[in-house]
């Protein structure tokens, strides 16, 4: 089912509770939230494919450079101002990686539209590390590997992430084949505003979830930078045995901290 913005694909699952908007990461699509959709059936869920991802509209050259973050943030704002506002329920943005950055941008710019944020390993890291992360993640090369030999590339992903459910791993891989050709690297989906400024601006309860493995973007240095920001609205939780994909690497650890946070902040 499509909803506003009308050029994006948005799945709507009408549960009885407050609204969760699930925002996926770079090169992914809404389909990678299938496990969370099953678990969070008590909530009303909105699951968009971000612009340039999945079956949503492609980016224009102007939107893609130097960063698509502003248009992605505006897409979520439009969604909140139409569907969610009309529905009238409390709402939390739950984002992973790129989606977490978008969620934080929305929360900082339009705090009256959201009641809580869950940020799963956003690209909140020192600038030098962020540049290195971008350079080792050439989006189109990775996507082309899936296009050229999907099964072999998926098998390699299985070796790297053996505990992920097979259906989610396949959806995760399929999403790579649909990425907008204008998206070349992760930096194109990172906001130009320094993330520390965004973190300082947040005025709604915010749970930041990261992992303890080397591929986590939020590491010890990031946490120290957040401590310097000293925003009492932000709580950081490190999940053991998890990397950048915290929820998929350790779903039990992820939900042990995220589910109570959502229940508390969206109560009433």
pLDDT for 137: 62
pLDDT for 132: 66
Pairing of strands 19-23, 44-48: parallel
pLDDT for 257: 98
- φ/ψ of residue 212, rounded to 5: -105, 10
Q: Which residue numbers in the chain have pLDDT < 70? A: 1-4, 85, 131-137
185-211, pLDDT tens digit by residue? 888 888 888 999 999 999 999 999 999
pLDDT for 2: 40
pLDDT for 250: 98
Distance CA 207, CA 216 (A): 16
Residues in the chain: 268
The DSSP secondary structure of the chain, one letter per residue, reads ---SSTTS-EEEE--SS-EEEEE--TT--GGGGHHHHHHTTTSEEEEEPPTTSTTSPPPPHHHHSS-SHHHHHHHHHHHIIIIIHHHT--EEEEEETHHHHHHHHHHHH-GGG-SEEEEES-S-S-HHHHHHHHHT--HHHHHHHHHH-HHHHHHHHHHHSTTS-HHHHHHHHHHHTT--TT--SGGGGS-SS-HHHHHHH--S-EEEEEESSTT-SS-HHHHHHHHHHT-TTEEEEEETT--SSHHHH-HHHHHHHHHHHHHHHT--
Distance CA 201, CA 250 (A): 30
**What does pTM read for this prediction?**
0.95
HSE-CB of 187 using CA atoms within 13 angstroms: 13
72-87, pLDDT tens digit by residue? 999 999 999 988 767 8
pLDDT for 89: 83
Domain annotation for the chain: domains and CATH numbers:
10-265 (3.40.50.1820)
243-255, pLDDT tens digit by residue? 999 999 999 999 9
């Amino acid at each position: 089912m499509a909803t506003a913005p009308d050029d994006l694909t948005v799945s709507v699952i009408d549960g009885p509770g407050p609204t969760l908007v699930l925002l996926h990461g770079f090169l992914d699509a809404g389909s990678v939230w299938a496990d969370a959709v099953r678990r969070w059936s008590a909530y009303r869920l909105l699951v968009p494919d971000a612009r340039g991802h999945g079956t949503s509209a492609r980016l224009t050259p102007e939107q893609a450079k130097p960063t698509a973050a502003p248009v992605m943030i505006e897409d979520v704002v439009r969604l909140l101002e139409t569907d969610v506002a009309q529905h009238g329920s409390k709402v939390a943005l739950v984002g992973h990686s790129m989606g977490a950055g978008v969620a934080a941008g929305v929360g900082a710019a339009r705090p009256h539209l959201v009641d809580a944020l869950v940020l799963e390993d956003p690209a909140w890291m020192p600038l030098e590390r962020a540049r290195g992360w971008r350079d080792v993640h050439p989006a189109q090369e990775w996507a082309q590997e899936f296009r050229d030999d999907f099964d072999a590339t998926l098998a390699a992903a299985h070796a790297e992430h053996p505990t992920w459910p097979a259906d989610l791993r396949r959806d995760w891989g399929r999403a790579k084949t649909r990425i907008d050709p204008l998206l070349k690297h992760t930096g194109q989906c990172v906001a130009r505003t320094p993330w520390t400024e965004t973190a300082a601006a947040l005025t709604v309860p915010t749970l930041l979830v990261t992992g303890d493995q080397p591929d986590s973007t939020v590491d010890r240095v990031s946490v120290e930078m957040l401590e310097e920001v000293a925003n009492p609205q932000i709580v950081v939780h490190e999940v053991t045995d998890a990397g950048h994909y915290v929820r998929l690497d350790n779903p039990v650890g992820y939900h042990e901290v995220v589910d109570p946070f959502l229940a508390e902040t969206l109560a009433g």
